[in-house]
């Protein structure tokens, strides 16, 4: 151990250091939030029919004014803003772009938070909703409905709406977690067991998807492939209204476990010594992370890498303290996926490419960069 | 803290890792646990820390059965530093030591918590590293950080599993001297698994010699650490040398 040149008197006060870190982190969260707001405004203004950001703002305000017209004060307040210049702006922004923006953000938020929590709980930076077999299971669920035209237990009949695909994908996503839970009841909840179980289940479900692909005809194969590529086509206010409460509840419950997750990252034994019921915490967090991730995946199809990349970036930016890491991952996930989806729908406009493909490209490049950059990866 | 261990046993299948271990400890006492590899030192420490559930026997802390206590209550009583630990790659030294405050806080960190952390860092002479990341430290520095974490926990019982295994000579002595002094001044207790017989002799009030999961000998260092015991447990011939600085155990050769 080398002696440091500083004398004791020059050592930094811990409370000063803590305050510095705290302010830095707040500034970082503020910056990402601001970027997210800008990204939303930008995304709402670009597309086949470009709008000015002012019009986007007025369109939203006018829409709220119309909806709240009956309420005194609030309705009048929003009515002050007036109408957008472009007559179609309100329909385009409120009915088409905003739901899609919301869905992209929510998906990014949920996948990133669930990735961050899974990485923390299993102390493995390469874990994500995908390594644990969740995406494969959800794909299998969707594939069953798309190809065989039947939902879970045959209760739902395909064709009526997309909801049977969504429900089936969600149910199978949860099922993967239940299976992992079952395995852990037999073999214990060590990280190795859980990761291995997830990987193995992922392969089995993937095999199921391939069998279903083999059986399916051209039309269904196209539908299935589109689902597997992942995209925000399913965006609607209904989807947002279903996902929003699920996302909020799951993320708040997970964020409340931040201290426990911090302790767990020091190892099972130290976590136990700090008063944490390790097995219970692991399963609780994995279950909530699975619910959040699979409910989003059910609507969007497979959107990879975001659950791996966003927490990774945030760990480098803000550190391992889950009190900041979870909100940071949420914002970062929302930001990255929103920008990617905006890019996906505008780059070859009016043609769209699935955002899932964009994520594979960005994710691949990001991890190549990490490998080339080497070990020194603390930014903050 | 008053500690009473009675009939502690741990089975791994048919293998008895610990069997019929009983002893008592009083406030302010430093107890070393020594014995060959695989003699059950770590298992004993883990059982007392309530990290590992024993197959038989009881651990009483301040006259209360530990199994009936709430995990958070135990966390405020026992500070445990395991032999193998995971490194928090993206955590700073300050954050790692701050983990020790977990049993005392709900969410917010108070100025008092930060003071305790600072004191812990100062006791281990590592405040200069406070802002460094754990993966930028050497093995010995990490070990001191983990001990500081246990200090920040402000427990009544320190359980250290080979706390000096990664340290050089100077820091071995430093760590044991500091922890012993803190144990005495806080009226706490310390149970420490050690490999070095001379360190055990110098820094402990009582020594427990484990052999194949059972207590072979137990008592004051001067009574327990004899050539006969060392030969019986380790299979090594040793002699005791008296000098102006005290008694020294000198291992000679493997007994054939």
Write the residue in B82, B94, B144 that is nearest to A18 by C-beta: B94
Q: Quick one: residue A368, left, alpha or beta (phi over 0 = left, psi -120 to 50 = alpha)? A: alpha
Q: Which pLDDT score is estimated for A217?
A: 82
SS3 (DSSP) at B37: coil
Nearest CA in chain A to B139: A1
The answer to whether residue B95 sits within a structural domain is no
Beta bridge partners of B30: B190
User: Does any domain span residue B193?
Assistant: yes
Residue closest to A321 by CA, chosen among A270, A265, A360: A265
CATH number at residue B48: 3.40.50.300
Q: Does the CB of A9 have a partner CB in chain B at under 8 Å? A: no
Residues of A in contact with B144 (CB under 8 A): 1
Q: How many helices (H) and strands (E) does chain B have?
A: 9, 12
Indicate whether B166 and B251 sit together in one domain: no
pLDDT band at B208 (very low <50, low <70, confident <90, very high): very high
Q: Is A321 on the interface with B (CB under 8 A)?
A: yes
Domains of chain A: 26-51+86-373 (1.10.3470.10), 52-85 (no CATH)
CA distance B187 to B177: 15
ipTM: 0.89
Q: Say yes or no: B155 contacts chain A, CB-CB below 8 A.
A: no
Q: Give the Cα separation of A270 and B6 in Å (integer).
A: 24
- Residue A125 has φ and ψ, to the nearest 5°, of -70, -5
Quote the domain boundaries for residue B67: 3-89+152-225
Amino acid B87: pLDDT: 62
**Percent of chain B residues topping a pLDDT of 70:** 98
Q: Among B81, B95, B111, whose Cβ lies nearest the Cβ of A15?
A: B111
Give the other-Cβ count within 10 Å of A243's Cβ. Answer: 22
| Distance from the A153 Cα atom to the nearest Cα atom in chain B, whole angstroms | 43
Tell me, yes or no, whether B180 and B241 share the same domain.
Answer: no
**Do B164 and B84 have their domain in common?**
yes
Q: Which of A273, A324, A380 to mutate to test the interface with B (most CBs of B within 10 A)?
A: A273
Do B71 and B55 sit in the same domain of this protein?
yes
Q: Where are the alpha helices (DSSP H) in chain B?
A: 41-49, 71-77, 93-98, 111-123, 139-152, 169-186, 197-203, 221-224, 227-234
Asked if B216 and B160 sit in the same domain, the reply is yes
Please compute the mean of the pLDDT values over residues B161-185 and round it to a whole number. 90
Q: Is B50 close to A272, i.e. CB distance below 8 A?
A: yes
Q: What pLDDT, on a 0 to 100 scale, did the predictor assign at position B159?
A: 94
- φ, ψ dihedrals at B218, nearest 5°: -160, 130
A315 contacts chain B (CB < 8 A) = yes
Q: How far is B77 from chain A (nearest CA, A)?
A: 10
Query: When comparing pLDDT for A89 and B199, which is higher?
Result: B199
Residue range B211-228, pLDDT digits in tens: 988 999 999 998 988 889
- Pair (B248, B194) in one structural domain: no
**pTM attached to this predicted model:** 0.88
**B181 shares its domain with B252:** no
Mean pLDDT by 10 residues, chain A (380 residues): 49 85 94 96 86 83 80 77 77 86 94 93 82 86 80 47 77 86 76 83 91 84 82 84 93 95 89 91 90 88 87 90 95 95 87 86 85 62
Q: Which residues of B touch A17 (CB under 8 A)?
A: 94, 130-131
Distances in Å between the Cα of B138 and the Cα atoms of A2, A14, B141, B146, B248 are 9, 21, 5, 12, 30
Looking at residue A163, what is its pLDDT?
74
Q: Which residue in B has a C-alpha nearest to residue A11's C-alpha?
A: B128
Residue with the bigger pLDDT between B194 and A185: it is B194
- Whether a cis peptide bond, with omega within 30° of 0, leads into A66 is no
For residues A79 and A69, what is the distance between their CA atoms, to the nearest angstrom? 8
B165 and B230 assigned to the same domain = no
Indicate if B235 and B177 belong to the same structural domain.
no
pLDDT in tens, B16-30: 888 899 999 999 899
Highest mean pLDDT range out of A145-149, A355-359, B78-82, B88-92?
Answer: B78-82
Q: Nearest CA to A1 among B162, B90, B166, B132?
A: B166
How crowded is residue B145: how many other Cβ atoms within 10 Å of its Cβ? 27
How many domains does the structure of chain B reveal?
2
Asked if A141 contacts A173 with a C-beta cutoff of 8 angstroms, the reply is yes
**B160 and B65 in one domain?**
yes
B241 with B254, same domain: the answer is yes
Residues of A in contact with B96 (CB under 8 A): 266
Q: Is B129 part of a structural domain of the chain?
A: no
Gap from B93 CA to chain A (nearest CA, Å): 11
Indicate the residue of B51, B71, B130 with minimum beta-carbon distance to A17. B130
CA neighbor of A379 nearest in space, from B133, B26, B84, B248: B133
Q: Are residues B192 and B237 in the same domain?
A: no
B107 part of a folded domain: no
Which residue would you say has higher pLDDT here, B188 or A194?
A: B188
For residue B11, give the 3-state DSSP assignment: strand
């Amino acid at each position: 151990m080398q002696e440091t040149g500083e004398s004791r008197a020059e050592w930094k006060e811990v409370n000063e250091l803590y305050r510095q870190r705290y302010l830095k982190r707040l500034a970082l969260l503020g910056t990402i939030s601001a970027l997210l707001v800008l990204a939303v405004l930008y995304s709402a203004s670009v597309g086949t029919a470009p709008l000015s950001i002012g019009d986007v703002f007025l369109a939203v305000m006018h829409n709220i004014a119309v909806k709240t017209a009956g309420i005194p004060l609030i309705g009048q307040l929003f009515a002050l803003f007036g109408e957008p210049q472009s007559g179609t702006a309100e329909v385009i922004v409120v009915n088409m772009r905003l739901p899609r923006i919301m869905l992209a953000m929510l998906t990014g938020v949920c996948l990133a938070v669930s990735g961050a929590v899974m990485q923390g709980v299993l102390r493995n930076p390469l874990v994500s909703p995908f390594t644990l077999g969740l995406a494969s299971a959800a794909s299998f669920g969707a594939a069953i409905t798309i190809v065989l035209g039947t939902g879970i237990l045959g209760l739902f009949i395909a064709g009526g709406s997309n909801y049977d695909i969504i429900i089936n994908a969600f149910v199978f996503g949860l099922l993967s977690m239940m299976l992992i839970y079952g395995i852990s009841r037999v073999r214990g909840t060590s990280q190795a067991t859980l990761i291995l179980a997830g990987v193995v289940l992922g392969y089995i479900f993937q095999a199921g998807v391939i069998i279903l692909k083999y059986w399916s005809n051209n039309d269904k194969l196209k539908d299935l492939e589109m689902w597997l590529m992942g995209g925000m086509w399913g965006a609607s206010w209904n989807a947002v209204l279903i996902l929003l409460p699920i996302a909020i509840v799951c993320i708040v419950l997970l964020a409340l476990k931040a201290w426990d997750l911090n302790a767990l990252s020091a190892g099972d034994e130290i976590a136990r010594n700090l008063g944490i019921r390790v097995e219970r915490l692991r399963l609780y967090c994995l279950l909530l992370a699975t619910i959040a991730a699979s409910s989003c995946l059910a609507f969007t199809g497979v959107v990879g890498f975001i659950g791996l990349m966003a927490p990774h970036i945030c760990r480098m930016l803000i550190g391992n303290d889950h009190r900041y890491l979870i909100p940071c991952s949420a914002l970062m996930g929302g930001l990255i996926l929103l920008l990617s989806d905006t890019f996906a729908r505008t780059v070859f406009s009016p043609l769209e490419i699935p955002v899932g493909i964009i994520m594979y490209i960005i994710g691949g490049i990001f991890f190549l960069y990490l490998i080339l950059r080497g070990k020194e990866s603390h930014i903050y | 803290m008053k500690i009473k261990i009675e009939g502690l046993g741990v089975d791994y299948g048919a293998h008895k890792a610990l069997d019929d271990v009983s002893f008592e400890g009083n406030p302010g006492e430093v107890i070393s646990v020594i014995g060959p590899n695989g003699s059950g030192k770590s298992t004993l420490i883990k059982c007392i820390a309530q990290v590992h559930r024993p197959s038989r026997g009881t651990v009483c802390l301040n006259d209360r059965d530990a199994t009936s206590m709430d995990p958070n209550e135990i966390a405020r009583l026992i500070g445990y530093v395991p032999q193998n630990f995971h490194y928090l790659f993206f955590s700073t030294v300050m954050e790692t030591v701050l983990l020790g405050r977990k049993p005392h806080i709900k969410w917010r960190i108070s100025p008092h918590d930060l003071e305790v952390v600072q004191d812990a860092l100062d006791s281990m002479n590592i405040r200069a590293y406070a802002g460094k990341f754990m993966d930028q430290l050497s093995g010995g520095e990490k070990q001191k950080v983990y001990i500081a974490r246990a200090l920040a926990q402000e427990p009544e019982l320190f359980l250290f599993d080979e706390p000096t295994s990664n340290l050089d000579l100077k820091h071995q002595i430093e760590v044991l001297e500091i922890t012993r002094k803190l144990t005495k001044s806080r009226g706490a207790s310390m149970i420490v698994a050690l490999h070095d017989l001379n360190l055990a002799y110098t820094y402990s009030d009582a020594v427990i010699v484990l052999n194949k999961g059972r207590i072979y000998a137990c008592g004051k260092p001067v009574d327990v650490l004899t050539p006969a015991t060392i030969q019986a447990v380790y299979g090594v011939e040793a002699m005791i040398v008296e000098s102006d600085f005290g008694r020294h155990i000198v291992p000679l050769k493997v007994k054939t």
